[in-house]
Structure 1
Amino acid sequence: MATDEQSMQDAPAPENERSPSPVPPPPVAAAPGPRATALQKLYGDAITHVLKTCSYNNFASCFPTPAKEVPDSLRHLHEQFTDRLGASMRINFEQILAERNVVPSLNELDGLIEDAKKRKAKAEEEANGEPVQAPVPPHSLPAQQLYLSHLAPSLSQQSLSLQTRQEDLQAENAEILQRVLQQRKEIEDLVKGLENVVVDLDQSAAALKPEDIEELVNEAREVDEDMRTKS
């Protein structure tokens, strides 16, 4: 006990005495919804209640001698103890929230409940005052309808992707067809031009006299012989 009294005597005494402040709810990374907020507030209130229960008077009753001899040091020790206890509980709570994915799960539950309320309100509005027909429970549906309902979003996405791909291929094929038609037209124009040249040559040949043809043949032979001689 003398050792405890000596250590408490050496501890610095605070200038002003203060009581434990309420512990705020622990922060979370995701934006909490109504239920997550209520859970955080509930835990924050619980921590505050625990720390208030561990008041200085209750704490001092466990250490009567230091409370009498060095009350300031004991009060400072009590403040440190409550601060560390509150911080430890907040850290543990934050770890549990993160490990168990609590906030996103509660937010998802809020979304499901809100969606159910909207569906109910819509059904009542469409009923026009008549009794609302209860929806068919999912567990009573046949297996084929259940797995088709699960596959519908994926199949719809695949169908949309295939339709987009088909439209792209059709546009590409139309462009290729235009190029082929253009090339075919150019070939037809070229063939027509060659045919006109052949017709002109035939007409020129028909217009020549036999002696003119013989003269041209002789000139061609002479030119050929001259070229061979020079080479």
Structure 2
Amino acid sequence: MATDDPTVQPAPEPASVRSPSPVSAPPVQATPGPRATALQQLYSDAVTHILKTCNYENFASCFPTPAREASQSLQQLHEEFTARLGASMRMNFDQIVEERNVVPSLNELDQLIEDAKRRKQKAMDVAAAEDKEVVQPMPPHTLPAQELYLSHLSPSLSQQSEALKQRQVALQGENAEVLQRVLQQRREIEALVQGLENVVQDINGSVTVLKPEEFDSIRNEARTVDEDMRMAD
């Protein structure tokens, strides 16, 4: 029995009626994964190597007089310079990594590679269970240049081909409409010509029926009417 009471909640639908939710992609971790960690470690090692190269001996060789007269001040300047240089290089690197969304992108790449490895292993296990030979896909770098650029152009070419097909169908429809209009106009012209031919036949029949004296009388009346009209003008 139906009720209008808003406090009464409808009964939940059976679980079998509800459609299953789509499987969503796994979330990308914000913390650095293996490749992001390796990139950060590589840059950190590069900065450390640069700072070691710019040691006090190399730095002092560029300023021989201050190194001889005020070595302690120059050494303090070197320490401040290398500390600021290292901090600036690391800060700029962190800023670029954040702006370019490097960590999530590398983490997503890690997930894709791990997923590909799992699917490859699963395919190998299934093939081994069914006693079938595992067909290894051809590496992309071994494909010929023509096949590579055609694979890149395939989506665009497919889209253009579909657009051309739709345009062709539209033109065929327009041509069919134009053809119908032309045929209709041709039928109207034929009807008009047939009507004129009937009128001409009626006139010819009337002339044939007229007697010579009646024809002369009509001619005289037409001449009289023409002279009267000229005089009126």
User: TM-score if structure 2 supplies the norm length?
Assistant: 0.54
Write out aligned runs for 1:48-63 (5 A).
none
In structure 2, C-alpha distance between the alignment counterparts of 1:116 and 1:209, rounded to whole Å: 111
Cα displacement (A) at 1:96: 3.0
Write out aligned runs for 1:31-110 (5 A).
33-34=27-28, 36-39=29-32, 96-104=97-105, 106-107=107-108, 110=111
Cα displacement (A) at 1:129: 4.0
Cα displacement (A) at 1:195: 0.7
Cα displacement (A) at 1:97: 2.2
Q: 1:142 to 1:96 in 2, by over 3 A?
A: closer
RMSD of Structure 2 on Structure 1 (CA) = 3.4
In structure 2, C-alpha distance between the alignment counterparts of 1:161 and 1:101, rounded to whole Å: 37
User: TM-score if structure 1 supplies the norm length?
Assistant: 0.54
Q: 1:118 to 1:226 in 2, by over 3 A?
A: farther
Please give the secondary structure, in 1, of the residue aligned with 2:30: helix
Deviating above 2 A after TM superposition, structure 1's stretches of 4 or more consecutive aligned residues are 31-34, 36-40, 92-129
Question: Could you tell me which residue of structure 2 aligns to residue 85 of structure 1?
Answer: none
**1:222 equivalenced with 2:215 (yes/no):** no
In structure 2, C-alpha distance between the alignment counterparts of 1:105 and 1:173, rounded to whole Å: 55
Write out aligned runs for 1:154-173 (5 A).
154-173=156-175
Q: 1:204 aligns with which of 203, 206, 216?
A: 206
Cα displacement (A) at 1:124: 6.3
Alpha-carbon displacement from aligned partner over 1:31-87 (angstroms, at most 9, x marks no partner):
9933x33439x99xxxxxxxxxxxxxxxxxxxxxxxxxxxxxxxxxxxxxxxxxxxx
Q: 1:37 to 1:100 in 2, by over 3 A?
A: closer
Question: Could you tell me which residue of structure 1 aligns to residue 74 of structure 2?
Answer: none
Cα displacement (A) at 1:143: 2.0
Identity %: 46
Q: Could you tell me whether the CA contact under 8 Å between 1:123 and 1:132 is conserved in 2? A: yes
| Equivalenced residues, count | 152
Q: Which runs of 5+ in 1 are unaligned?
A: 1-30, 44-91
Q: 1:194 to 1:117 in 2, by over 3 A?
A: farther
Cα displacement (A) at 1:94: 7.4
Alpha-carbon displacement from aligned partner over 1:169-223 (angstroms, at most 9, x marks no partner):
1111111111111111111111111111111000001000000000000001111
Q: 1:219 to 1:153 in 2, by over 3 A?
A: same
In structure 2, C-alpha distance between the alignment counterparts of 1:200 and 1:119, rounded to whole Å: 93
Give the AA of the match of 1:110.
Q
Give the AA of the match of 1:131.
E
Q: Which runs of 5+ in 2 are unaligned?
A: 1-24, 38-92
Q: 1:149 to 1:185 in 2, by over 3 A?
A: same
Question: Could you tell me which residue of structure 2 aligns to residue 135 of structure 1?
Answer: 137
Please give the secondary structure, in 2, of the residue aligned with 1:136: coil
In structure 1, C-alpha distance between the alignment counterparts of 2:195 and 2:127, rounded to whole Å: 76
Q: Could you tell me whether the CA contact under 8 Å between 2:124 and 2:134 is conserved in 1? A: yes
Please give the secondary structure, in 2, of the residue aligned with 1:170: helix
Q: Could you tell me whether the CA contact under 8 Å between 1:97 and 1:103 is conserved in 2? A: no
